[in-house]
Amino acid sequence: MSPFQTGTMSYKKTIHIYLTAMILLGSVVTSCTKNFDSINTNPDKSTTSRADWLAASLLTSVTSSDISTQKSFAQPFMLGKYVLWTENQESYQYNYIQRTSAFGRIPVLRNVTVMNSYAGANADTKNSYLALGHFIRAWQFFQLTMQVGDVPYSEAVQGESTGNIKPKYDTQKAVFMGILNELDTANALFASGKDFAGDFIYSGSVDKWRRLTNAFELHVLMNLYKKTADPDINVINRFKDIVTNRPLMQSYTDNFAVTYINSAGYCYPWSNTAVQKNAFVIYPMISSTLIDLLKASQDRRLFFYAEPAASQITAGVQASDFNAYIGVEPSAAFSVTTSAHSTGKFSDFNKRYVDLYNAEPVSLFSYWEQQFILAEATVRGWISGTSAQNYYATGIQASMNFLVKYTPASYMHGVTMDVTYIANYPATVALTGSAEDQVKQIITQKYMAGFLQGADYNAWFENRRTGYPTFMLNSSTNLNTPTTQFPVRWMYPQVELDNNGVNVKAAIDRQYGGNDDVNQQMWILK
């Protein structure tokens, strides 16, 4: 059983505890006048909470609540050029990015302080909850700064403690340094902590949380690869120290992922079952960006990801034939995509994603991503001792083994990935050429492993960072302005401009010469 799968009853129990906790939290995080309290206090309702309830609440916010369902689930993969949409001309497919909604990640962090205040009730697990709080803070601030650049950090979430509801914006460098320090702290605290309650991801295993923390820190450092000369951050030595001295994820069973159950609201995000309807399953197509890469290397993951094109099956091509699968170019005119859809000249999502309530766990960060990061770091000369090819191969194999685990035979289209195939495949796409050639191969394989995984725009961020795999720019359909380039960031939200305008303006002036524009390069990209 996967470490994320605690069983249907225990999962429901955790969710029940979470919902109960959310009801109780109102009395913890809200301050009221004395008269209001006396009039509205329910004598039968608890006025306290517990660290495990708050842990469940926080984890829900950054995992299952962060992974959208139905059409919204597909949208990050439209921006990442895995998916095309035929209901209408979808903004993300055509590179139209507006103001971010990611600032909603900050208010969630108010409960970290509250969780910490209850963590001391049990000395054995106190450090575990403190560590979890640091990890969640690092995770949320990372996702936010990756979208916009400078964000509130040092003064964030201080409205209740200091009355500061207009926090300053820290530079992106300062935010990244804070994130790295919080992950270092989380690693040390998890190392001295005990397994804890309230965790439906790893069942409270501090060992698995510590491994994730360190793997995620490698991911953060890799996003700073252009800053290796900065002595304050010390990217390469930090990276090397983690690889040498700390535990890392060991297999896909360590994925930071949500496992789904057969209950309304808790099924796989794309499923259309008796308990969870999804009217949007008729609209997507899989892109040529993904399918052509899989076909070029005769990669059997294609049969696990996709359905054969109806037009090819009608023409007599077998579902087990690579030629049965057709990808459509994401930048093609909307009329071209709808024509391909109406004539059956496209490949849909594999039906298991629709039919099965538990099609597969959806990861926010995975073991194979860690392995590809280690491969890239080796190519860049940051670490040594294990070959880049070894890391690269284990990343590919982990992705394949994951798909075999979660794909019933009836959804494989008569094609298997047995032990021999998985063992031998990496040699057929072995790393070759210059360092840049090898980085391209690594990121391409990371992309191929990421279909409907990495729900926080992972593939788009990787393309922005490296340029791989190549996304076609079609100036006649590109909705970005100018149409000759891709956007590279979101704009700040209007609510921040309205309520914290002085500090937002200072951040925009400092970074972007006063122009809050989607084409402006943030610090990590320079």
Structure confidence at residue 161 (pLDDT) = 86
**420 CB contacts (<8 Å, ≥6 apart)?**
none
CA-wise closest residue to 301 among 400, 446, 426: 400
Residue whose pair of structure tokens reads 């494989």 in the numeric block: 412
pLDDT at 34 over 50: no
Task: Give pTM, 2 decimals.
Answer: 0.91
Structure confidence at residue 10 (pLDDT) = 43
3-state secondary structure 67-92: CCCHHHHHHHHHHCCCEEECCCCCCH
Q: Would you call 273 exposed, middle or buried from its count of C-beta atoms within 10 A (0-12, 13-18, 19+)?
A: middle
CB of 158 within 8 A of CB of 112? no
Q: Quick one: pLDDT band at residue 131, thresholds 50, 70, 90? A: very high
The alpha carbon of 397 is separated from its chain's Cα centroid by a whole number of angstroms, namely 20
Structure confidence at residue 9 (pLDDT) = 39
Kindly report, residue by residue over 384-433, the tens digit of the pLDDT: 999 999 999 999 999 999 999 999 999 999 999 999 999 999 999 999 99
Q: How far apart are CA 353 and CA 401, in angstroms?
A: 17
Using alpha carbons, list the distances in angstroms from residue 371 to 219, 445, 498: 10, 11, 43
Structure confidence at residue 159 (pLDDT) = 87
**DSSP-assigned beta bridge partners for residue 170:** 151
Structure confidence at residue 47 (pLDDT) = 52
Domains annotated on the chain, with CATH: 1-70+102-248+489-526 (1.25.40.390), 284-355 (no CATH)
Structure confidence at residue 352 (pLDDT) = 98
Using only the alpha carbons of the chain, give its radius of gyration.
Answer: 23
Report angle CA 188, 194, 198 to the nearest 5 degrees.
110
Element (H, E) at 257: strand 256-258
Using alpha carbons, list the distances in angstroms from residue 344 to 269, 310, 474, 483, 517: 25, 5, 24, 30, 39
Q: Quick one: pLDDT band at residue 110, thresholds 50, 70, 90? A: very high
Q: Would you call 146 exposed, middle or buried from its count of C-beta atoms within 10 A (0-12, 13-18, 19+)?
A: buried
Kindly report, residue by residue over 352-395, the tens digit of the pLDDT: 999 999 999 999 999 999 999 999 999 999 999 999 999 999 99
Kindly report, residue by residue over 286-345, the tens digit of the pLDDT: 999 999 999 999 999 999 999 999 999 999 999 999 999 999 999 999 999 999 999 999
